Structure 1
Amino acid sequence: MAERLGLSLDVVEFRPTQIREIAAIRSRLPVGKIYFEVPSGTDPAEYVAAIADAGGYAKIRTGGVTQHAIPSVHEVAHFLSYCVTRHVPFKATAGLHHALRGIHPLTYAPDSERALMYGFINVILATSMLSLGGDIGVASALLEDSLPTSFSFDGECARWRDQRFAMYELVHVRENIMMGFGSCSFTEPLDEMKQLRWL
C-alpha cells in the first residue's frame, strides 16, 4: 500500500497479543525495521527470544495514564537483561520524561493521579550496566534509585554510586542496544537535567 501511495516506510510497530504473531508478521514484512511491543504483565523472555529469531526490535512501555500501566522493576529489569543477552535493540516509551525515578503526576491534568515513575537516566544506565555484564539485582537497584546524589556526569563518563560508565560504552549502548526513549515532552527531560546540573 505504501508503494502505491508513493511512500517509503522506515519503521513499523506492532503490538502482538501472542508470541506466534511475531514470526507471522515478519514473514509478511521480510525486510525493514519492525518494533514488537512486549505486553505488560507477561514474562518477556519468550517474547524477546521470538523477536530475536525474527530479526526484530523490541519495545517496552514503562508507564501510562494509570498506576496499573506501570510495569514492575522486576519486569523492566528482566526485559532489559533479555534484550542485552539476545542482542535485541529496543526502545522504551511512555512516562519517561523525568530524569530520575520519582513520584510524579501521570498526566498534565490538574487532578492527575500521582505514581512512582521510571527515570530515563535510570533506564539508560541500567541497560549499560547489563551490557557490561552487570548483575540484574544491581541493575534493579539502579532502576529504583531516586537520589540525585547517587549519579554524576562529566565529559568522560557517567557514574552511579561506585559504578563508572565510560562515554564510549554509553555510545555503544545508544547505537546498538537502546535505540531511544519516548517522552511526551521535548523540554521536560532537558529542563530536569539542567535543574540537576547535569547539563
Structure 2
Amino acid sequence: MKSSPSLHVLLERLIDYAGLFPPANLSLIKAIENYANYINSNDSWMLGPFIIPVAKINELPHYRELFLNKKALELSVVGRKSSDEEQCFVQFREDLKLIHHFSRENSDWSNVKVYEIPLPPIVPTNNLIKEASTGAKELGMKVYCELTMLNGDNWLNNLSSTLDVISEFNSRHKEKVGVKLRAGGIKAEMFPSTEKVASVIALCRDLNLPIKFTAGLHHPVRMYREEVKTKMHGFLNIFLSGMLAYHFNLNKKIIEEIISDENIEHFMIKNDSLAWKHFCITAQEMKELRNHSLCSFGSCSFDEPKDELLDLINRQEVFK
C-alpha cells in the first residue's frame, strides 16, 4: 500500500498478526508461514509481532528456517486466563519459565517483545502489577494487562480502580505497564459497548496509560456484520477517537460519538492529517501518540483491515 505521511503514522506497526485465533483459527504452520511472507512483503511496515498463546511457544522451533538469517520472528505471547489472583501469579511464573527457556535457545532467529497477561476478573493488587512488570522486564518484554472486569453493574468502578492501580505503579517506574482491551469476538455478546470502549480510552488518556486492542477490528469504520449479528467496532473509529481525545482533551461523550459513527464521510484521510468532522490532527501530532499511547491491535487477518482501509480511501476520492 502506498502511504501518505498521515497514513504511514496511522498504520506503522499497527496490526499484530493473530492468525491462530478466531475467527481465522489457522494451524500454526499456516499462520507462521503467512507471517513470514508478510514481514518480507512491501507492506511489512504495517506489521507488529506474531501473537501466540504461551502453550504453543515450544512448537515454534519447527519453523526456525523461515526466519534464520532472514527477518527475525517477533513475538507477543498471550498468557492464560485465571479466576483469581493466586492462580494468576502461579501461571505467570510458569509462563516466564517457558518464555525464558524458549528465548535462551532460539535468540538467533526470534525475539519475544511483548507479554499479554489477562487479569483475573477482579481489581488487581499492586503486587500483581509489580510482579508482571518485573518479570517481563527481566526478559526484555513489554507487558500489557488485558481488562476482564467490564461486565456486571459495577463495571465502571472496577475499571477505574484497576486502571488506578496500574497508573500508580507506572508513576514510580520507568517501564510502563500497558492496557489491553478486547474489542470483539465471534459472538455479539463479546463486543463491548461504545460506552465501555470510550470509558477505557478516556481513563487511559487521563492516566497516561499505553493501550492496545484485540479482536473484532477487521474493518476501518463501525458497521453491522451479519456473521456476528451485531455492529463491529472500526479500527479507524477507535484509534482516531483515542488520538483526538489526547490532542483535544475530548470528553467521554464526544469520544463515544466518534467510536459510534458509521458514516465514512465523517472520517477525512488527508495527505498530512486525519480528521473526524471538524476535529483534525496532523501526522506530526499523531506520531508521539501512536508510539506511546495508541499502540496497536491484534487481528487474525493482516490483509482485510489494510485492504478495506485502501477501499475507503478510494471511495473518499469519489466524495471529493
TM-score, length basis structure 1: 0.88
Identity rate of aligned residues, in percent? 24
CA distance in 2, matches of 1:71, 1:59: 13
The aligned counterpart of 1:20 is: 124
Q: Which residue, 256, 261, 285 being the options, matches 1:140?
A: 256
The alignment status of 1:71 with 2:192, answered yes or no, reads: yes
CA distance in 2, matches of 1:173, 1:24: 27
Per-residue Cα deviation, 1:73-113 (whole angstroms, up to 9, x for no partner): 111101001111111101011100100000124xxxxxx33
Q: Which residue, 59, 74, 81 being the options, matches 2:202?
A: 81
Matched AA of 1:71? P
The aligned counterpart of 2:219 is: 98
Structure number having the greater helix percentage:
2
CA 1:98–1:20 in 2, change beyond 3 Å: closer, same or farther?
Answer: same
Compute the RMSD of aligned alpha carbons.
1.9
On the 8 A contact 1:38/1:59 being kept in 2, the answer is: yes
> What pairs up with 1:28-177 in 2 under 5 angstroms?
29-30=133-134, 31=137, 32-39=141-148, 40-41=150-151, 42-43=155-156, 44-55=159-170, 56-105=177-226, 112-132=227-247, 133-177=249-293
The aligned counterpart of 1:109 is: none
The aligned counterpart of 1:184 is: 300
On the 8 A contact 1:23/1:54 being kept in 2, the answer is: no
Q: Relative to structure 2, which stretch is displaced further, 15-24 or 179-188?
A: 15-24
CA distance in 2, matches of 1:66, 1:50: 30
> 1:125: Cα distance to partner?
0.9
Gaps (5+ residues) in structure 1? 106-111
Per-residue Cα deviation, 1:40-97 (whole angstroms, up to 9, x for no partner): 3232211111222333110000101111111111111010011111111010111001
> Alignment length, in residue pairs?
193
Point out 4+ residue stretches in structure 1 off by more than 3 angstroms.
2-5
Question: SS at 2:299's partner residue?
Answer: coil
On the 8 A contact 1:22/1:36 being kept in 2, the answer is: no
